[in-house]
Structure 1
Amino acid sequence: MSGHVSQDLSYCSPEQGTGETSPLPLVEELVPCPDLEQLLQTFAGEEGLLVLDSARHAESLGRYSYLMFNPLKRFQIQQAQFGTDPFEAIRQLHQRLQRPSLPELPPFQGGFAGLLSYELGRSWEEFPRAPHDEFGLPDLAVGFYDWVITWDHQQHRAWLIVHGFDSSLESQSTDLAAQRLCAIKQRIESGVPQQRSSVVLQSPLEKQLDLSALSASHAVEGLPGILSNFSKDQFLRQIERIIEYIYAGDIFQANFSQRLLSPVTMSPAELYLNLRSRNPAPFAGYFAWDDWAVLSASPERFLNVSGSEVETRPIKGTRRRKTVPEADLLTRDELRESKKDQAENVMIVDLLRNDLSRVCEPGSIRVPHLCEVETYETVQHLVSEVRGNLRPEHTVWDLLSSSFPGGSITGAPKVRAMEIIAELEPTVRGPYCGSLFYAGLNGEFDSNILIRTFTVRKGWIQFPVGGGIVAQSQPRLEYEETLHKAAGMIAALET
């Protein structure tokens, strides 16, 4: 854990700010409203750059976006250990630094944000870790962000919010806040990228992990240049084994994935902008930390907390979009009426109701929406919504501890499904099926499920794809579904 104050944000004098009489945090509307894509390119070299991106603005779920970098304090756990609280230090700071919400601004106004990898779930459940971890990303990488640029896409407005904490997080200063606000505004207005030596931005081909170091590297038929950690026959056999576990009574459902790999041919920022344009999604994100980056076009919310109300929106059931409108409508109707997909979805809804009931008020759990079709650029999804009210004695960290990783990407029963996943998937999932999140000083919380996600490190882009396996699953169709899900992502790899 270390504090870090960027020297890049300290070249404005206090006189250029607002003076000691201004209340904290400082808030300034950015006029004209800056373009998020342009700012991502401007700040692409900055440490800890995090963009929580509602790239699908027209949707009710896609109202707000956020950009921040250079966290004042970093928290990192390389490998989670069962029986430990990975949030202990964050939890204590979060409680001490609580601030009231600023009215009429987007809900995240500064605080904690970052990555929770899938294997962080081993903190609470004793399941094995997959044997291979060639890329070695941490299970937790979280920053305390003193400032944030926030967008309200419905109003077409943006604000810069700066709290002015010192590096120890013990005190706030109006002068410090004013210096940071001035410096960030100058960078926005100049549009000049900061030249940094971040490994993320160096040519990844210079440091590419050798093929011999990978757990497995099988060519994927019909996808030149793409490698998988399974051959097709191996993948089909593992699905058959899951179905055997289902008939043996171990589980009802398990989410199973294959990891696809491609050599890096562009910077993470360029790749994210490609992904964003081809697969706009309400819970997208970009996170660059040390020498790796996570880029996501996720359509799925994991957990949201506003006041005491908790919401989760599991996705189970997917169909590929059709180019002919009539055929696309028929596909939507077929997905809506599919008994198999409905059964998968309802199983996960029941699992999430159970997870939420651990920390929510008795009788408050409800399902306002069940098995509704949502349409995206390349696929259609079957989505449900579960809500509850957090008990006063519990925090968002308790909610995460009771629910992570999300039920939609594990299976049911959850712990046994995770044991089977670790047995049958040869490599750790890492960020895939984990979460990008924020936890504001005002108590607001939101997070995604990291599907449709690239991870960039050691010269490779990895992007696992998977789906839910139930008793009625047909292995070949499940294999084809993973490739359908990958299609939009593979298109983003094209230079």
Structure 2
Amino acid sequence: MSPRRVETRDRPWRDPLAVANGLRDRDGALALLSDGGVLGRWSFVAADPDRVHVGPLEPDGLATLRDPDFAAGVVGLLAYDAGARPATGPREPVWPDLMLARYPAVLAFDHQDRTVRVIGRGDDAAAARAATDRAEAWLAGAVDPVPPPPPAARFDPEAAPETYLAAVADVVARIAAGELFQANIARAWTGELNPGADPFDVMLRLADRAAAYGAFWRLGDRAIVSNSPELFLTFDPADRRIETRPIKGTRPRHPDPAADAALAAELQASAKDRAENLMIVDLMRNDLSRVAEPGSVAVGRLFELESLPTVHHLVSTVTARARPGTGPAELLAATFPPGSITGAPKHQAMKVIAAHEPPRGPWCGSLFHIEDDGRMTASVLIRTATFRRGDGRWTFRAMAGAGIVADSDPAAELAETEVKISALREALAAFVR
């Protein structure tokens, strides 16, 4: 049975990264760290989940998400390959399909009002109060974040650049033959953390490049660090409103303001990038229509410029009103994996991706958070590194991709992946290439 009681207390502002730093070694350590911008008003920090699910998807998909015990105070990770499997067939798993953890004690940081909400959940008032006490004690254990030295000595590509160039050329040829319109093709880099280093060190090194959907999550011997700027979905059951904000179109930032402004203007004027973005907007409209009330799917904004520390992006916004009875499980089943990191048509794009890439694992899957009122926020796990621990050492894998369309230039797409991976490369291994 899911917790029925919730107790909250408001406390003065503390730096959420500092509080998370004090909990970094706890079981199930979690930090959903936003940049405090328009899309990232709230950050969340927690530890010590009281219920965990890790495993493959059930025959009927996301049935575990319909379990009342996972209805609130839940964080989940849905791996890309779980959603791609209907198109790709069985492949060697590199990560569990679904990871869920329920947190009785949570700290919610309101960047706008500069307050901290202490949240405790339990089956009765006493249990909720005890959970609130535990969460409040975490505030006193905050440790000021100090970026450590690079935690890794190497950041090695899994394949030579020529392999990626050939993959892009093949996809362009497939598009010319009418097989598909667009596919997101990625590269991967791997390495090992130095003795004594920890995945949270990477989070600390990304602190000056905060994104709207930054995250650290460790369960057992697996961890992720994400600096994602991309919203996959929000869902508010109060009014059944769904929103998605796909990103397509990228240019690097430039230290010279005039040159940087020119790159941003070039991106906004690019017919190629606007067409690429529009394809994914249409795909997301189609996906949302599977669970939306007829006539409610709408495009609120097209081709908005979003400037981040290392890149400029084009972002569009699609909204819908969910049909009655729709919950997180139904919404994810209808839309996952995200269209922005698959392609169009989605099913064929995933088959083409599988022909050129090993399984992706969490990368380009989704990390989602379900709050007490049932509201869900789900990010796209781009700008994300995954970690596994064995024999006392952490190994990592990071990926970056580009949307390939009919007039894609392989060398330009290769350069785009280098720009997109740059922040994680510097966080993991400084300027090692």
| Fold shared per TM-score above 0.5 | yes
Post-superposition CA distance 1:149-175 (Å, at most 9, x none): 1011000011111111xxxxxxx1222
Other-structure match for 1:64: 42
1:356 is the counterpart of 2:288:
yes
Return the match for 2:53 from 55, 72, 75. 75
CA distance in 2, matches of 1:80, 1:393: 21
- Deviation (angstroms), 1:442: 1.3
Alpha-carbon contact 1:129-1:428 (below 8 Å) kept: no
Return the match for 1:481 from 401, 410, 416. 416
| Counterpart AA for 1:28 | R
Alpha-carbon contact 1:359-1:394 (below 8 Å) kept: yes
Other-structure match for 1:378: 310
1:301 is the counterpart of 2:231:
yes
Alpha-carbon contact 1:80-1:119 (below 8 Å) kept: no
| Counterpart AA for 1:188 | L
SS at match of 2:67: helix
Other-structure match for 1:239: 168
Other-structure match for 1:259: 188
Other-structure match for 1:92: 67
Equivalent pairs, count = 414
CA distance in 2, matches of 1:130, 1:320: 34
Instruction: Assess, with a 3 A threshold, how the Cα gap between structure 1 residues 191 and 226 changes in structure 2: closer, same or farther.
Output: closer
CA distance in 1, matches of 2:395, 2:82: 23
1:183 is the counterpart of 2:134:
yes
SS at match of 2:129: helix
1:291 is the counterpart of 2:249:
no
Alpha-carbon contact 2:106-2:135 (below 8 Å) kept: no
The TM-score, its normalising length taken from structure 1, stands at 0.80
SS at match of 1:270: helix
| Counterpart AA for 1:253 | Q
CA distance in 2, matches of 1:480, 1:190: 43
Instruction: Assess, with a 3 A threshold, how the Cα gap between structure 1 residues 445 and 190 changes in structure 2: closer, same or farther.
Output: closer
CA distance in 2, matches of 1:192, 1:67: 13
Alpha-carbon contact 2:19-2:143 (below 8 Å) kept: no
Alpha-carbon contact 2:104-2:131 (below 8 Å) kept: no
Post-superposition CA distance 1:103-139 (Å, at most 9, x none): xxxxxxx52212111012046x3423555x5xx3211
CA distance in 1, matches of 2:65, 2:266: 45
- Deviation (angstroms), 1:184: 3.0
Other-structure match for 1:116: 78
| Counterpart AA for 2:356 | L
SS at match of 1:287: strand
Alpha-carbon contact 2:155-2:429 (below 8 Å) kept: no
Return the match for 1:127 from 80, 85, 88. 88
1:269 is the counterpart of 2:200:
yes
Alpha-carbon contact 2:305-2:314 (below 8 Å) kept: yes
- Deviation (angstroms), 1:384: 0.3
> Within 5 A, what are the aligned runs for 1:60-459?
60-77=38-55, 79-80=56-57, 84-93=59-68, 110-122=72-84, 125-130=86-91, 136-164=94-122, 172-191=123-142, 225-265=154-194, 266-277=197-208, 279-306=209-236, 307=238, 308-425=240-357, 427-458=358-389, 459=394
Alpha-carbon contact 1:39-1:188 (below 8 Å) kept: yes
- Deviation (angstroms), 1:229: 2.0
Alpha-carbon contact 1:129-1:422 (below 8 Å) kept: no
- Deviation (angstroms), 1:494: 4.2
Instruction: Give unpaired runs (5+ residues) of structure 1.
Output: 4-22, 99-109, 165-171, 194-203, 206-223
Instruction: Give unpaired runs (5+ residues) of structure 2.
Output: 145-150
- Deviation (angstroms), 1:292: 1.5
Instruction: Assess, with a 3 A threshold, how the Cα gap between structure 1 residues 352 and 476 changes in structure 2: closer, same or farther.
Output: same
CA distance in 1, matches of 2:57, 2:168: 28
Alpha-carbon contact 1:40-1:269 (below 8 Å) kept: no
Deviant stretches of 4+, over 6 Å:
none
Aligned sequence identity (%): 35
Other-structure match for 2:147: none
Alpha-carbon contact 1:80-1:122 (below 8 Å) kept: no
SS at match of 1:155: coil
CA distance in 2, matches of 1:450, 1:257: 13
- Deviation (angstroms), 1:34: 2.1
CA distance in 1, matches of 2:306, 2:166: 31
Instruction: Assess, with a 3 A threshold, how the Cα gap between structure 1 residues 24 and 344 changes in structure 2: closer, same or farther.
Output: same
- Deviation (angstroms), 1:85: 2.7
SS at match of 2:276: helix
Instruction: Assess, with a 3 A threshold, how the Cα gap between structure 1 residues 187 and 333 changes in structure 2: closer, same or farther.
Output: closer
| More displaced stretch, 343-352 vs 40-49 | 40-49
Post-superposition CA distance 1:195-235 (Å, at most 9, x none): xxxxxxxxx99xxxxxxxxxxxxxxxxxx932122211111
1:43 is the counterpart of 2:4:
no
SS at match of 2:131: helix
Instruction: Assess, with a 3 A threshold, how the Cα gap between structure 1 residues 475 and 126 changes in structure 2: closer, same or farther.
Output: closer
Return the match for 1:471 from 385, 393, 406. 406
Alpha-carbon contact 2:76-2:368 (below 8 Å) kept: yes
CA distance in 2, matches of 1:153, 1:454: 26
SS at match of 1:261: strand
Alpha-carbon contact 1:286-1:295 (below 8 Å) kept: yes
SS at match of 2:255: coil
CA distance in 2, matches of 1:271, 1:315: 24
Alpha-carbon contact 1:65-1:152 (below 8 Å) kept: yes
Which one has a bigger Cα radius of gyration? 1
